[in-house]
Structure 1
Amino acid sequence: MTAKLHAAVIGGGAAGMATALELARQGARVTVIEADALGSGSSGRSVGVVGTQMTDPFQLLMRRYGQARFREWEGQGFRFNHIGYLRLARSAAQMRALERSQQMQEEAGFRARVLTPDEMVRLIPHLSAEGLAGGIFGPDDGFLDPYELCTFLGARLRELGGEIRQFCKVTGLARRSGGYRLETAKGAVDCDVVVNAAGAWAPKVAAMFGQQLHIFPERHEAMAILLDQPLDYTMPMVMDLIDGEGTGLNFRHEKPDELISEIHKVSTGAPSDPDDYNDQCMDESREYLAELLLERLPDLPGARLGRGWAGLYPITADRRPFAGPVDPAEPGLITAGGGGGYGIQLAPVIGIAAADWALHGAVVSAPGLEALRPSPDRNRPVGQEERP
């Protein structure tokens, strides 16, 4: 079955390409259909951070599977920037959570250490520790270029015989005996299985199949911080958010004289139309970000805000990704996405689970990831209330 199965993956972002590669590795014939270029959607607008500084055991389980793939790809020549990841804590309760996280990370095979405020300042001389109780630091974490990730996975897929159709929008579909026919701008594609990995567009693709998919496109903004003088150390990724508490400010090294910063939202805003949203930073966002940066990095040398952009986080109600069939009665239609602000680092995990569902009808290669299936209790509308 596996060697003969033909899977069409709709979407050439990180989740789609990771799924496509997992399918091809297991012997499936794969066709990726991307309406634009690889990595041109939400993936290409991500800041690309990959880290393990989490307090939830399931989040760490996902990263154990995901990090194994990143290390494998790095060994094949993919560039991963190991700058480290520091998560800030503001209370004794948060510090206790970080101490538990350190233990869980060590059990999972990750390196991490809990730091005092003084130790954090020694790590990052420009950091103000005012109002902080401490933090946790993972020296092996870092960032990658999301566009490079998509093109790297694309090259690996082609080596395994996979096909990629870029600038090729799905315009129609039909169910047929044992599978589907997708009409596209570059001809029809007959396949046995369809993977909906369209990111912020996934609900629109699902609607074409008569399904209701609750993936919420939330707009986020990122900006460059330009420095008059290059730093004489590498700024790690710094995140001011633990389990929904904190400002959400984060920043990291991009170049010696440039940082990248954004605000990871702690509450859900209004949904955005992926076909019609403002992809530039708004003035009020720049002002708010500058305010937070001045508080946490008050003495950066000649710091000023540079270019900015906006992208979409495809989020779910429980902030965990979807990987599996929405409708058990239609096992040949698989959803792969909804990673939200962690979409890049969870792309390998989504790919593993989605490929298993497509090929085996269940998760067989990564125990625990069956929890990512978009079951009715998970595939529900994203509320406007604050969520962790």
Structure 2
Amino acid sequence: MGLPDVIVIGAGSLGLCTAISLAGHGAKVTILEAKSIASGSTGRSVGVVGTQFTDPQEILLRRHAMAHFTRWEKAGLRFNHIGYLRLARTAAQMALFETSVRMQAEAGFRAELYRAEELRRLVPHMDVTGLAGGIFGPDNGFLDPHELCMFLARELKTAGGKLHQYCTVTDIARRSGGYRLETTKGPFDGDIIVNAAGAWAPHVARMLGQHLHVRAERHEAVLVLLDRPLDYTMPMVMDLVNGEGTGLNFRHEKQGELIAEIHKGDMAHSEDPDAYNEHCDEASKIHLAELLLERLPSLSGARLGRGWAGLYPVTADHRPFVGPIDAGEPAIVTAAGAGGYGIQLAPVIGQMAADWALHGAPVSMPGLESLAPTAARNIAT
């Protein structure tokens, strides 16, 4: 029996990585994208890839993901290794960081602790008031989301996969041995469906008679225009440890520009991905400016530039869903809910989703069955 025909819905980073993993195993893969490549959450991301976490599973996921990024970088993907600094406000957080350094070393990552008075060696403009220190990964950095997705699309084409843009799925029907998807570009038949539609994933699930609890959480980012270029490259700086902190993060973007956002949702409702405001609210800009002025007071001559809003697809426990919702229908695989970490987790989520589609379990990464959207996890946020 030959390998199945798989339909992947969504051409963001998760859908593209899933399709590449499937094609690498010889499956026939077709991506259906309602708009254009990276037009959803991926394209509105700030593209950070970091390993500075305190949870063993988060580090394990990134160990698998970074192996893909390393391989793709050798194949021509541009990875900006500016470093990633996560700030600590308490001694307890610094103790967690000490453990993280050890766990990262075991995973093959470099990380180093910095006391508060040492942080200005990394960011000379930083005011360290209220900080206990931080953890820094010199090999971390960021990717351009559109460059990443165009790279992945080329890789998919080389592997024999197909991608249809501006191809909206309007209905899905079960047929003997598989599924028929009606779209604005005609019907497509497949043996397996992977729902990687990001903020639209709950809508796709409903077409299949399933309930997927992923909330579309709004986030906003702005460019920071400097009055003069820095004489160093500012790493990614994050003020958030396991939900504690302001959520402010900022990093070098290009000569004379930083990019900043607040990585911390405070809204209980889910945005409508077809009708949300894609621009940064004025109140959000003011709040962001206040936080930046507090942490980088000597950059007071800087001004805020263009801003935009995107959506974080978030689950109740803030971990991604990878696997079938219904164990009785294993040919419908979900790959969604990575929140603000979609780009950095996309390679490993794609690998797991391909495993579920082809083998019925994440066989290449034993132990990560816990990310399946079981009834216990697939609950309202």
Cα separation, 1, equivalents of 2:204 and 2:147:
25
Q: Which residue is equivalent to 2:241?
A: 242
SS of the residue aligned with 2:135?
Answer: strand
* Contact map agreement 1:234 1:256 (CA 8 A) in 2: no
Deviation at 1:118, TM superposition (A): 2.1
Q: Which runs of 5+ in 2 are unaligned?
A: none
1:368 aligns with 2:367: yes
4+ long deviations beyond 4 Å: none
CA-to-partner distance for each residue in 1:158-177, whole Å, 9 max, x for gaps? 11111100000001121011
* Contact map agreement 1:324 1:357 (CA 8 A) in 2: yes
Q: Which residue is equivalent to 1:71?
A: 70
1:202 aligns with 2:201: yes
Q: Which residue is equivalent to 1:385?
A: none
Q: Which residue is equivalent to 1:144?
A: 143
Letter of the structure 2 residue corresponding to residue 152 of structure 1: F
SS of the residue aligned with 2:157?
Answer: helix
* Contact map agreement 1:229 1:301 (CA 8 A) in 2: no
* Contact map agreement 2:215 2:269 (CA 8 A) in 1: no
Could you tell me the percent identity over the aligned residues? Answer: 64
Q: Which residue is equivalent to 1:343?
A: 342
Aligned 1:267-282 pairs, distance under 5 A: 267-282=266-281
Cα separation, 2, equivalents of 1:271 and 1:374:
19
Q: Which residue is equivalent to 2:27?
A: 28
Cα separation, 2, equivalents of 1:4 and 1:101:
41
Cα separation, 2, equivalents of 1:19 and 1:53:
25
Deviation at 1:271, TM superposition (A): 1.1
Deviation at 1:148, TM superposition (A): 1.2
SS of the residue aligned with 2:291?
Answer: helix
1:231 aligns with 2:234: no
Cα separation, 2, equivalents of 1:151 and 1:266:
29
Cα separation, 2, equivalents of 1:255 and 1:195:
36
Task: Calculate the aligned-residue CA RMSD, in Å.
Answer: 0.9
Letter of the structure 2 residue corresponding to residue 255 of structure 1: K
Cα separation, 1, equivalents of 2:95 and 2:187:
56
SS of the residue aligned with 1:107?
Answer: helix
Letter of the structure 1 residue corresponding to residue 301 of structure 2: G
* Contact map agreement 1:235 1:252 (CA 8 A) in 2: yes
Q: Which residue is equivalent to 2:257?
A: 258
Cα separation, 2, equivalents of 1:105 and 1:52:
8
Deviation at 1:267, TM superposition (A): 4.1
Aligned 1:124-143 pairs, distance under 5 A: 124-143=123-142
* Contact map agreement 1:169 1:185 (CA 8 A) in 2: yes
State the number of aligned residues: 381
Letter of the structure 2 residue corresponding to residue 246 of structure 1: G
* Contact map agreement 2:217 2:265 (CA 8 A) in 1: no
More displaced 10-residue stretch of structure 1: 312-321 or 299-308: 299-308
Cα separation, 2, equivalents of 1:209 and 1:4:
23
TM-score for both structures, normalised by structure 2: 0.99
Q: Which residue is equivalent to 1:43?
A: 42
SS of the residue aligned with 1:74?
Answer: helix
1:97 aligns with 2:103: no
* Contact map agreement 1:196 1:336 (CA 8 A) in 2: yes
* Contact map agreement 1:245 1:266 (CA 8 A) in 2: no
CA-to-partner distance for each residue in 1:130-183, whole Å, 9 max, x for gaps? 110000000000000111111111111111111100000001121011110111
TM-score for both structures, normalised by structure 1: 0.97
Q: Which runs of 5+ in 1 are unaligned?
A: 383-388
CA-to-partner distance for each residue in 1:51-77, whole Å, 9 max, x for gaps? 000000111010011111111111110
* Contact map agreement 1:231 1:257 (CA 8 A) in 2: yes
SS of the residue aligned with 2:261?
Answer: strand
Letter of the structure 2 residue corresponding to residue 137 of structure 1: F
Deviation at 1:269, TM superposition (A): 3.3
1:287 aligns with 2:293: no
Cα separation, 1, equivalents of 2:254 and 2:203:
38
* Contact map agreement 2:181 2:188 (CA 8 A) in 1: yes
CA-to-partner distance for each residue in 1:308-348, whole Å, 9 max, x for gaps? 00000000001000110000000000001110011110111
Q: Which residue is equivalent to 2:86?
A: 87
* Contact map agreement 2:219 2:265 (CA 8 A) in 1: no
